[in-house]
């Protein structure tokens, strides 16, 4: 009796198995370890892990009760594993992408060369929901528009990676990467001894370094704060966690005020000047004097202080323009335009309903395509063509015709699956997954190895969003095999483009302490 009995691959690419019963080489050790566990033992560990999350308060509150009900975000305890080479290819593609996107944002808010040259249609930009014309010409510290980016990747049925979307406003979820790792290390410590997993816990120090880098005041100890909408926000745990790990203040709008274009926070020792705001509030709510008047979450005057160059915001105002799923379709063209390179990570083929011919194609194939509205997140505003009813298709056809700018369509990607524990059958079953790596941009670009693997825990579902019944699992990038790292030890990889130098993040090793070469090979530039 093994948890893998009757494990079906179906027609999908399976992360663990190359064919039934045959684990891929980099999964062999994990497969062997899990095969020895009984369902009872696995369940016991899952309960232990969940109890630990409840105790630490890594939970959502479900309201309606006097005291509220605590729910954990589901964590699947079968990790997803990537080889070192696989990760390096992804990393290169992501770095290229964020370079192009940052250059694009700068261009859009300044010279607009890409529009003048007709590479991206002008009306797409000026009609975009998140375009901030107020920021045309505004100077952004160090010319970095996006400090933190979460780019969603999927694998198709042949195992190739595609970019599904970019999140350049305030992507969340990185706290789950760090928590999942800690949880796994506590729940299955022996697995870490057998696999050489690259560490991720330097994320917060790197983030803090980058935030300090954009401080407008060049002083030794700039004041960095994290601005949260408050404890009732669903991502509040993450906000508090990141602030705690960086040792910075977690502020709400009411803790800050602006006087003569300088941002101050109210402290027990009187006002203290703030240099950098890592804001986890959308543009719309940032400053009632500039954006939504009815919002009490933000800080009146913050935007003017920002325009005056007295405070830095991460991410910059107006980055949402590149979140737009219509603009996403142009990213490969941006890479070509700004970097003169071909995109290393392809987009999922995308049809734009604002283009007449493509719209006709969409309308005729609604039963085969996935339709998404341009600016929704969290799995909302979507039509999953192959799983939809005629009625839903008609409804979307009307929406598309009345607002063509606002929709795109993509063929359904048969995204890859990985084994997940299913409580009601006490077995592992394949579940669809995606990957959100977190890209940090500062003096250089760095990405912690792996990222957040989200799982569609509902049988047959392709939607991984937590708001739609998704969970997550730990993502392991294996360290370079020792022999390989020695032969490649003095190869330094660096690219300088558009003023941004890429260097790999420092790779601290897990417990086994081997493989010193990979740690040091990156510093030589």
Under the criterion CB under 8 A, does residue 456 sit at the interface with another protein? Answer: no
**Stretch 273-332 residues interacting with another protein (CB under 8 A):** none
Report DSSP letters for 61-105, one per residue: EEPSSSS-EEEEPPEEEEEEEE-HHHHHHHHHHHHHHHHHHHHHH
Q: What is the rounded distance in angstroms from the CA atom of residue 282 to the CA atom of residue 269?
A: 30
What's the min distance (Å) between Cβ of 256 and another protein?
9
Asked if 280 contacts 229 with a C-beta cutoff of 8 angstroms, the reply is: yes
- Which of 38-46, 169-177, 261-269, 286-294 is the region at the interface with another protein (rule: CB under 8 A)? 261-269
Three-state helix/strand/coil letters over 149-185: EEEEEEECCCCCEEEEEEECCCCCCHHHHHHHHHHHH
Report DSSP letters for 138-152, one per residue: ---GGG-S-SEEEEE
> Among residues 67 and 357, whose Cβ is nearest to another protein?
67
Per-residue binding string, another protein, 349-368, x by CB under 8 A, is --------------------
Under the criterion CB under 8 A, does residue 268 sit at the interface with another protein? Answer: yes
Gyration radius from the chain CA atoms: 23
What tokens does 40 get?
A: 């009872």
358 φ, ψ (degrees, to nearest 5): -70, -35
What's the min distance (Å) between Cβ of 476 and another protein?
24
Q: Tell me, rounded to whole angstroms, the distance of Cα 441 from its chain centroid.
A: 13
Largest CA distance in the chain: 71
Asked if 153 contacts 162 with a C-beta cutoff of 8 angstroms, the reply is: yes
Q: How many CB atoms lie under 10 A from the CB of residue 132?
A: 20
What's the min distance (Å) between Cβ of 235 and another protein?
13
- Which of 55-63, 386-394, 429-437, 473-481 is the region at the interface with another protein (rule: CB under 8 A)? 55-63
Given 38, 116, 205, 254, the residue binding another protein (CB under 8 A): 254
- Which of 124-132, 153-161, 242-250, 283-291 is the region at the interface with another protein (rule: CB under 8 A)? 242-250
Given 8, 54, 62, 514, the residue binding another protein (CB under 8 A): 54
473 φ, ψ (degrees, to nearest 5): -145, 160
What tokens does 111 get?
A: 């010279």
Q: Tell me, what DSSP letter sits at residue 26?
A: G
Q: What is the rounded distance in angstroms from the CA atom of residue 465 to the CA atom of residue 101?
A: 24
Per-residue binding string, another protein, 211-240, x by CB under 8 A, is ---------------x----x----x---x
What's the min distance (Å) between Cβ of 57 and another protein?
4
What's the min distance (Å) between Cβ of 66 and another protein?
6
Residue with tokens 């684990």, as numbered in its chain: 23
What's the min distance (Å) between Cβ of 296 and another protein?
15
> Among residues 124 and 177, whose Cβ is nearest to another protein?
177
CA distances from 87 to 100, 320, 498 (A): 20, 27, 24
What's the min distance (Å) between Cβ of 298 and another protein?
16
Strand partners, 421: 428
Given 116, 244, 260, 364, the residue binding another protein (CB under 8 A): 244
Extended strands (E) in 178-255: 224-227, 249-251
> Among residues 54 and 136, whose Cβ is nearest to another protein?
54
What's the min distance (Å) between Cβ of 77 and another protein?
21
Q: Is the peptide bond before 26 cis (omega within 30 degrees of 0)?
A: no
> Among residues 56 and 112, whose Cβ is nearest to another protein?
56
Given 19, 40, 55, 389, the residue binding another protein (CB under 8 A): 55
Given 255, 367, 392, 443, the residue binding another protein (CB under 8 A): 255
Under the criterion CB under 8 A, does residue 249 sit at the interface with another protein? Answer: yes
Given 20, 21, 57, 378, the residue binding another protein (CB under 8 A): 57
What's the min distance (Å) between Cβ of 278 and another protein?
12
Under the criterion CB under 8 A, does residue 178 sit at the interface with another protein? Answer: no
Under the criterion CB under 8 A, does residue 248 sit at the interface with another protein? Answer: yes
CA distances from 140 to 95, 270, 337, 348 (A): 20, 29, 22, 31
Nearest to 200 by CA among 100, 73, 82, 96: 82
What's the min distance (Å) between Cβ of 212 and another protein?
17
Under the criterion CB under 8 A, does residue 157 sit at the interface with another protein? Answer: no
What's the min distance (Å) between Cβ of 440 and another protein?
19
Given 70, 111, 157, 360, the residue binding another protein (CB under 8 A): 70
Given 1, 19, 66, 137, the residue binding another protein (CB under 8 A): 66
Given 71, 186, 266, 459, the residue binding another protein (CB under 8 A): 266
Residues 6+ apart with CB under 8 A from 121: 115
Q: What is the rounded distance in angstroms from the CA atom of residue 429 to the CA atom of residue 461?
A: 13
Under the criterion CB under 8 A, does residue 263 sit at the interface with another protein? Answer: no
Strand partners, 149: 439
What's the min distance (Å) between Cβ of 88 and another protein?
33
What's the min distance (Å) between Cβ of 273 and another protein?
14
Chain residues that interact with another protein, rule: CB under 8 A: 54-57, 66-67, 70, 226, 231, 236, 240-241, 243-244, 248-252, 254-255, 265-268
């Amino acid at each position: 009796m093994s948890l893998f009995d009757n494990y079906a691959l179906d027609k999908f690419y399976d992360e663990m198995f190359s064919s039934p019963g045959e684990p891929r080489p980099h999964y062999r050790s994990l497969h062997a370890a899990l095969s020895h566990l009984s369902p009872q033992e696995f369940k016991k560990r899952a309960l232990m892990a969940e109890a630990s999350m409840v105790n630490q308060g890594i939970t959502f509150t479900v309201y309606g009760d006097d005291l509220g009900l605590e729910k954990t975000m589901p964590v699947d305890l079968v990790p997803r594993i990537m080889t070192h080479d696989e990760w390096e290819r992804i990393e290169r593609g992501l770095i290229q992408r964020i370079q192009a996107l940052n250059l694009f944002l700068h261009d859009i808010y300044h010279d607009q060369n890409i529009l003048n040259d007709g590479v991206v249609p002008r009306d797409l930009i000026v009609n975009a929901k998140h375009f901030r014309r107020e920021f045309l010409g505004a100077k952004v510290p160090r010319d970095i528009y996006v400090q933190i980016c979460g780019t969603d990747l999927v694998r198709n049925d042949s195992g190739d990676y595609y970019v599904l979307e970019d999140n350049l406003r305030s992507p969340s979820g990185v706290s789950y990467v760090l928590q999942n790792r800690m949880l796994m290390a506590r729940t299955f410590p022996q697995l870490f001894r057998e696999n050489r997993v690259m560490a991720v816990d330097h994320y917060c120090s790197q983030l803090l370094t980058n935030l300090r880098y954009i401080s407008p005041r060049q002083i030794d100890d700039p004041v960095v704060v994290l601005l949260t909408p408050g404890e009732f926000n669903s991502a509040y745990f993450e906000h508090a966690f990141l602030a705690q790990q960086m040792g910075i203040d977690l502020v709400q709008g009411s803790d800050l005020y602006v006087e003569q274009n300088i941002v101050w926070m109210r402290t027990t020792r009187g006002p203290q000047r703030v240099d950098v705001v890592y804001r986890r509030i959308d543009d719309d709510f940032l400053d009632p004097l500039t954006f939504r008047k009815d919002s009490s979450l933000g800080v009146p005057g913050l935007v003017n202080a920002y325009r005056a160059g007295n405070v830095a915001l991460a991410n910059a105002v107006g980055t949402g323009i590149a979140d737009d799923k219509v603009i996403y379709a142009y990213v490969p063209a941006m890479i070509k335009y700004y970097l003169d390179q071909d995109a290393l990570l392809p987009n999922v083929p995308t049809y734009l309903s604002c283009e007449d011919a493509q719209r006709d194609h969409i309308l005729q194939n609604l039963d085969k395509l996935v339709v998404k509205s341009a600016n929704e997140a969290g799995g909302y505003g979507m039509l999953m063509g192959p799983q939809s009813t005629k009625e839903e298709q008609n409804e979307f056809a009307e929406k598309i015709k009345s607002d063509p700018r606002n929709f795109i369509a993509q063929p359904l990607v048969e995204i890859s699956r990985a084994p997940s524990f299913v409580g009601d059958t006490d077995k592992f079953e394949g579940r669809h997954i995606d990957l959100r790596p977190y890209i940090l941009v500062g003096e250089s670009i760095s990405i912690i190895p792996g990222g957040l693997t989200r799982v569609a825990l509902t049988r047959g579902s392709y939607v991984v969003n937590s708001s739609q019944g998704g969970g997550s699992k730990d993502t392991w990038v294996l360290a370079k095999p020792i022999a390989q790292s020695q032969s490649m030890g003095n190869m330094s990889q660096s690219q300088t483009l558009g003023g941004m130098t890429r260097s790999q993040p420092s790779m601290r090793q897990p417990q086994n302490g081997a493989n010193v070469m990979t740690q040091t090979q990156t510093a030589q530039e």
